[in-house]
Structure 1
Amino acid sequence: MSNKDLTNKDIYERICKIVAPFNQKDVSLFPATSFANDLDFDSLTVMDLVAAIEDEFDIVLPLNMLPDLETIQQLSDAVEKIIKR
């Protein structure tokens, strides 16, 4: 299956698998889980996560987009939008 064939649910599930090793507090992951508030990710962790997501989906997440991606669902939506271009 190519990335263009992925559903938002598929993308969300893959992102949750990528987030899991960074989840030091073992917080349950939901679409509304916040990277800053729930997971306490610092800027270095966010950049490592972004790199992992870019590698997984073979995309580039524009840096100006990152401040708007506060939850796992927002990140999933952004990845889907980039993939489907």
Structure 2
Amino acid sequence: MLSRVTAIRALPRVAFVPARFASSQVEGSVAQSKGFSKKEKAHEDEYVHRHEMELLAKMRAQIEKKKLELDELQKKHEELEKGQK
């Protein structure tokens, strides 16, 4: 019997690369535009302002807590002074 040898041929690989569309804008020009820059700065400023307001609120709460502690200590100090006299 005759044996048949079949050769498997490798097909050439075709790489599909998306074509870039020509445009009038340079790459990254959106990020450099004035409108985008102003909007981004406004968002950053809003975030910083909100963050600073949160920190101030925490500090005010801590100050009030320390004032209460100080008042209690002053009362105890006055009681101790009255007891010694």
TM range (shorter): under 0.3
Larger radius of gyration: 2
Question: Of the two structures, which has the highest relative contact order with CA contacts closer than 8 Å and spacing of 6 or more?
Answer: 1
Taking structure 2 as the reference length, the TM-score comes to 0.23
Give 1 or 2: higher helix fraction. Answer: 2
